[in-house]
Each structure stands twice: as structure tokens, then as C-alpha cells.
Chain A
């Protein structure tokens, strides 16, 4: 009895905060998304009207929404596999018996993860500079003509993907490295005795054993990449030709530049639905893979 009372006093403060500042706003967002909440409603709530699914219908008819959706999918579909491939490669190298100075390399490769995204986006904006940027300078050395990375709509998204991969591959690398280190060594030794090559061991031992961790990093990375915002905000402001407007950037502009808070809430819910659907898809994919 005393224990129960104590338990509630221990959890109540945290529950109140999470309830009032997360659960209530999420439900309120659902409610807002079926109203025309805008600058007038912000001034006087009597101007608020119920519009049903009107916001959702409007959004689905806005070209910029489809553009932002396309850009976000581009970012996720290219960025996530690249990021996980690099994380896996780095983890395999760090796990190798041949690698030296492992502690140093692990710290070095992880360092970009803890940096402030806005600050390092500024560095990359400068690295991508058409005339004075280090990247075009290096490309010129091997005879490639200068690329207008952040000014050409074909190159702006690849540039942001390169930056995002640099920023986050270390995170998944740590998770995959821990998974690699938990694979029993005698599995490899047995395969070695049977004459399996490095690639065969990778395919038949390492990758199957890493499956749960790869699923985990896929889920984390996909939902993180769907939330693209700060990179285009700092590096391109959504330009050139709206080629880097992400769904979240679109939501921010609708909400806090145009103060269409009802519509912005609807966009937030569409993004949530997307993230949820892709997570479920990944989980189902995994389950199907197990049975075959």
C-alpha cells in the first residue's frame, strides 16, 4: 500500500510532463488538423472553423506537397542505404583483427554524430562552394568540371545526402560493431577450417547474424531521415527550384511562416503516417525473410 502510493509520487511528475507536453499536443494536433486554424484564429479563437478533412484534401492538391514528398523519398531511399552501407563497412573494418589503433578510429568516425547539425551544415555549405569549395577543387584535380552543388537542382539533394551520411554513419556503426563483436568467434574458425573465403564468411555467417541489428538500424535511420529539416534550412533554404524542400520543411513554412497551423498539423500527421507505414513495412519484410 505504502509502496503503491510512493510509486505514484515517483512517476507522477514525469507522467504529467509527458502527458501535458506530448500526449495532449499530439491529440490537439489531430484536432487542429480538421480546423482552419490560422492567423485570425490565433488572434481570436472565435474565428476558428471546423473544416473536416478539408486540410488533407487541400494538401494533396498542392504541387509543393508532392514536390516535398518526392524530395523526402529521394533523400530516404538513397540516403539510408548509403548510410547503412558505410556504417556496416566501417564496423567490419573496426572489427577486423588486422585493424590497429581501434579506439582512435572508433572515436574519429563517431565524432560527426555528436556535432551540432547547424554548425557542421555551414562547414559543408562552404566545402560545396562552387568556386572556392574544397570538393570542386579536389574534383578539378582529377579533371572533373566544377559542379554547382547547392545551386543546381540536380545536385542539391545529392549534396545534402552526402552531408547527412557523413553526419550520421557513426551512430549505426557503433550499434553494428557491438553486434559484430557478439558473434561467436568459433563460427568463423569452423568456416575457416572448412575453407570458406572472406566473402563467403561475410555472406553466410556475418550478415545472417547481423540481421536483427540491421533491421534495428534501418528502422532508426529511416524514421530519422524522414525528419529531414535542419540541413535544407541552413544549406539551401529549400532551393534551388524547391529541390530540397522536405515534408518537414514544408510543414515549418506552412505553420510558422504562413501561420496555417491547421494545415501544418495535417502535414505533420501525413508525415507520421508515412513513418509508421515504412516502419511496419520494414518489420514485415524482416518477418517474411525469416520464414524463407
Chain B
């Protein structure tokens, strides 16, 4: 009897927490299908009485959302692919290749993690201006090409590769690049997926730096664009919810499909403390 009561309490609380977590997301979806003005009512409607795609039409045809989503997609994809190459090579070298000063260099990099990214942003803006990269994809992509976090994650994982395997290949006369491409990379596959989804989500969701470096609307990513739209359309709740839907749903779906890898990365990355 007591056990049943306990079980009801535990599961009941979990249901409440899940409602707290999911209600705003579900409601966003629902409101995005309501005609303009329908959500400004008392009591607030839970479901659209006459579902419509009008908000999405307006969003893509008048507000140019397609362009912003494309910008986001291009920027996040480029950052993911390029930074994977940079971080994988560096992380592997820090884990497995011997060279003087390796550990001290790595500790210096790790030390940089205590410095918040915003400290670098103001001079970074000036550097980007000097390089002519303000208001271009490059302004967002270039500074993100390598990350300490990514190198750290790869190094943690690559340390489990047996040295004998690499030595054997060296004795057979394989060059370091060949060893990396044919032996190491296949072994690193799980961490590649993890790092890829981590990087993609982080770049897609990033706000402050794109806001600073992309003031020209043509280059803006989806989060920067909807922040701007929301300042123009304070009253158009239904339209803004449609904007939120198209921004959030892609990353939410990606996470659902690859969540095992994402959570593994989160746990691996958090042992740094």
C-alpha cells in the first residue's frame, strides 16, 4: 500500500515536471496555427479553432524567414564540418603524438576555458572589421573554426586508442596523415557524431556574437532575425510563435534523433572540473 502511494507520488511529480518543460513548446506550436489576433483572448485558447498556415505564409513571404533559416543552416553546417577537421586533428595530436611542451600547452588551452567568450568579443569585432568579415558568413564562421572544448573532447576519447596499433602502422611505413585517416578516424567515429551535433546545435542557437557581427539583415541568422522581428511586431503573437517554431523545431528534431550522442558529449565534457 505504502509502496503504491510512493510510486504514484514519484510518477505524478514527473508528469508535472514534464508538463512544465513541454507546455511552452507545445503551446508555441498551437498558437502558430491560430489566425492573427486569435491568441489575444481571455481565456487563452489552447488549440486553434480554425487552424491556418497564414502566419507561416507571412513569415516566409513578407518577413523573409527563408533567407534567415538558410543563413543559419549554411553557417552552422560550415562551422560543424570545418571545426570538426581542426578539432579532430588537434585533439588526436594532444592525446597520442609526443612532442616537447605538449602537456603544458594543453593546460594553457584548458585554462582559457575560465575566460568568458564575451571578453574577446569587442576586439574580435575590430579584427573582423579589419579583415572585412563584418556582415558576412565568414564573420561568424572563422572565429568558431576551432574550440578548446572540441579539442578537449576529442583528446579525452582518443586517449583510449592503443599505442601499439599506431606503432605497428609506423613500422609498416605508414605516414602520420595516413595513420590518422585510415586508423584513427574510424575509431573516433562516436565522438565525431557527438561533437558534430554539439557544434551544430551551439552554432544554430548562438545569439550574442551573430547579433554583433551581422547587423545587415541579409546575412542574419534565424535567432538574430526573430529577435529583430519581435521588436517590430510586439503585438503579433501568432506570427512570432511561427517564427519561434521554425527556429526551434529543426534543432529539437536533430536532438531527438541523435540524443544518445548528445548526452554522452555532455557527460564527457563535464568531467573537466
Q: Which residues of A contact B (CB under 8 A)?
A: 2-4, 6-8, 10-11, 13-15, 17-18, 20-26, 28-29, 32, 89-90, 93-94, 96, 98-100, 104-105, 107-112, 114-120, 122-127, 129, 131-134, 137, 166, 170-171, 174-175, 178, 212, 215-216, 219-220, 223, 226-227, 229-230, 233-234, 237, 248, 251-252, 255-256, 261, 264-265, 268-269, 271-272, 275-276, 279
Chain B residues near A11: list those with CB within 8 A. 89-90, 93-94, 105
Confirm or deny: B119 has a beta carbon within 8 angstroms of a beta carbon on chain A.
yes
Chain B residues near A119: list those with CB within 8 A. 223, 226, 243-245, 247-248
Interface of chain B, main secondary structure: helix
Q: Please encode chain B, from 184 to 228, with 1 for each CB lying within 8 Å of some chain A CB and 0 for all others.
A: 000000000000000001001101100110000000001110110
Q: Which of B123, B146, B241 contacts A265, CB < 8 Å?
A: B123
Q: Please encode chain B, from 13 to 50, with 1 for each CB lying within 8 Å of some chain A CB and 0 for all others.
A: 11001101110110110010000000111111000000
CB distance from B41 to the nearest CB of A (A): 7
Closest A residue to B263 by beta carbon equals A174
Q: Which of B98, B142, B147, B243 contacts A122, CB < 8 Å?
A: B243
Is there contact, CB below 8 Å, between B90 and A272? Answer: no
Q: Which of A23, A100, A166, A271 contacts B24, CB < 8 Å?
A: A166
Confirm or deny: B115 has a beta carbon within 8 angstroms of a beta carbon on chain A.
yes
User: When A99-B11, A115-B251 are in contact, do A14 and B90 touch as well, CB less than 8 Å?
Assistant: yes
In whole angstroms, what is the CA distance A276 to B211 when docked?
Answer: 26
Is there contact, CB below 8 Å, between A230 and B18? Answer: no
12 chain-A/chain-B pairs, Cβ below 8 angstroms: A6-B97, A6-B177, A11-B89, A18-B146, A21-B120, A24-B123, A93-B14, A105-B18, A116-B251, A120-B25, A223-B116, A261-B126
Interface residues contributed by chain B, number (CB under 8 Å): 97
In whole angstroms, what is the CA distance A6 to B166 when docked?
Answer: 14
Query: Lowest 5 CB-CB distances: which A-B pairs, in order?
Result: A6-B176, A28-B123, A10-B93, A25-B120, A14-B90
Instruction: Give the number of residue pairs across the A-B interface with Cβ within 8 Å.
Output: 276
Interface of chain A, main secondary structure: helix
Q: Which residues of B contact A (CB under 8 A)?
A: 3, 6-7, 10-11, 13-14, 17-18, 20-22, 24-25, 27-28, 31, 39-44, 85-87, 89-90, 92-94, 97-100, 102, 105, 109, 112, 114-127, 142-143, 145-148, 151, 175-177, 180, 201, 204-205, 207-208, 211-212, 222-224, 226-227, 230-231, 237, 240-241, 243-245, 247-248, 251-252, 255-256, 259, 262-263, 266-267, 270, 273
Q: Known pairs A10-B89, A11-B94, A122-B241. 19 more at Cβ < 8 A?
A: A3-B99, A7-B102, A13-B85, A13-B89, A14-B151, A18-B109, A28-B126, A107-B256, A107-B259, A114-B205, A115-B248, A118-B247, A119-B243, A123-B27, A219-B273, A229-B118, A268-B116, A268-B122, A269-B119
